[in-house]
Structure 1
Amino acid sequence: MEHVNYSVVNFVFYEEERNNVLHAGSIFIYERIRAHP
């Protein structure tokens, strides 16, 4: 049971990290488009 809980926590953490990276990438792309219309 502990192994399952650890896997769930690890998956949630991974998802959070992935969302942060995608969000940062979106801001970066938006800034480039805005800087070079």
Structure 2
Amino acid sequence: MEVPQFEGLFLCLEVIDKNIAKKISGLFTGPKIKVEER
């Protein structure tokens, strides 16, 4: 069964996941760097 709609949905989710991952990693790496400097 080929469902183009779901494929497009998964592609959108992948892009969103990457953006969220970048934001989360940025939030976590920020505090870590500050703590390491101290």
**Residue 27 of structure 1 pairs with residue 30 of structure 2:** yes
Unaligned runs of 5+ in 2: none
Aligned mates of 2:8, 2:34 — CA distance in 1: 39
> Could you say which residue in structure 2 is the equivalent of 1:18?
21
RMSD: 1.0
Unaligned runs of 5+ in 1: none
Q: What is the aligned-residue identity percentage?
A: 3
**TM-score, normalised by the number of residues in structure 2:** 0.74
**TM-score, normalised by the number of residues in structure 1:** 0.75
Aligned mates of 1:26, 1:7 — CA distance in 2: 27
Aligned residue identity for 2:6: H
